Amino acid sequence: MKTKPQQINSDWSQQLLTLSEVLAALPDAEAIRAFLLDLCTPAELQAMVDRWQVVQLLAKGLSYRAIYEKTGVSVTTVGRVARFLEQGNNGYQKALLAVNRSTAGGCAEKQSTGSRGT
């Protein structure tokens, strides 16, 4: 059985930081997508995609049961994601904020570009 990362040593934390830096250094979403496809198994990617979808639905206020019915993600996993959303490392919160800023900025940019054309 594989040892849990936290049980290995502090080197694991440094390796995770290095991986995070690699992701941050990639130029765009397509490059990150390609890297993740090479790095992860389809099951690992599906688990990450599922969890991110759950985060977004929890942020919209959907119930665990409604999220399960919409996504097929188990209520247990939804609960685990919800716990990390509230009490985790603040990563989900930062990601939601970044996505909301990006979406709002994109809409404002489209509106300003559209108004220049008229």
pLDDT tens digits, one per residue of 22-62:
999 999 999 999 999 999 999 999 999 999 999 999 999 99
Check if the beta carbon of residue 77 is closer than 8 Å to that of residue 50: yes
Query: Which residues, 6+ apart, have CB-to-CB distance to 40 below 8 Å?
Result: 48
Q: pLDDT (tens digit, 9 = 90+) per residue, 90-112? A: 999 999 999 999 888 765 444 44
Of the candidates 103, 23, 81, 87, the one whose C-alpha atom is nearest the C-alpha of residue 73 is 81
